[in-house]
Structure 1
Amino acid sequence: FNMRLPELFCGFTRAPGEAPIAYPVACLPQAWSAGSTFMLMQACLGLEIDGWKGELRVTRPRMPIGIDTLTLRHLSVGNKTIDLTFQRVGDRVVAFLADRHEGLVPLIVRT
């Protein structure tokens, strides 16, 4: 892919350890494809940001097997910026504020 996101995610089969297969007639990249990575992460981590209230909600976060810790740095919540860490603890994923760059941001976690 020459370090670029693919236009499409397609269902071609591949062997374990092989790179994703480029869609044969795709242009590189389309905006929706580039944005889908972030929407997928938002959905897996259960993130919902309410900028008007300056509030961050996390509902039933999940991470793929093999990823035990993930930190989102400089995440904007309203007019504040935070670092948010997700960590696997047993069979659950917990979320906590790792750093508050610009003040207090309410974090609501639903499991």
Structure 2
Amino acid sequence: MIRWTLALACVAGALIALIDIDTPLRVVLTPLFMIVVPAAGISGLLRDRDPVESLAVGVAASLVINVLLAQAMLVFSSWSPRAGVATIAVLGGFMYVLQVLYRGAAVMRAEQGAKTR
């Protein structure tokens, strides 16, 4: 239940930023999206590790990703909240694809290990 609520809040934050809706919720939901999406993606890639360590690494990496994105936008004089949200969304999608491929490879290894015995 909490995962779906958080996912819905993140989607709402991204849509609010991309469509440029002027609402007081923008202040809360858009930064929530910017922090949660990379953190969830990286934590998902570290699924077989300790959950607390995975969450800590995910949040730290999320902050690093956001700071590097902001620095790159400032260096290239292309500051745009929409572009930042879109970049984080694409990065989150890429990490999701990596998770799916990683799980598929793990399932294949498990099946091959079962066949050899």
Q: Fold conserved (TM > 0.5)?
A: no
Q: If each structure's strand is expressed as a fraction of its own residues, which one has the higher value? A: 1
TM-score by length of 2: 0.25
Higher RCO, 1 vs 2 (CA within 8 Å, ≥6 residues apart): 2
TM-score by length of 1: 0.26
Q: If each structure's helix is expressed as a fraction of its own residues, which one has the higher value? A: 2
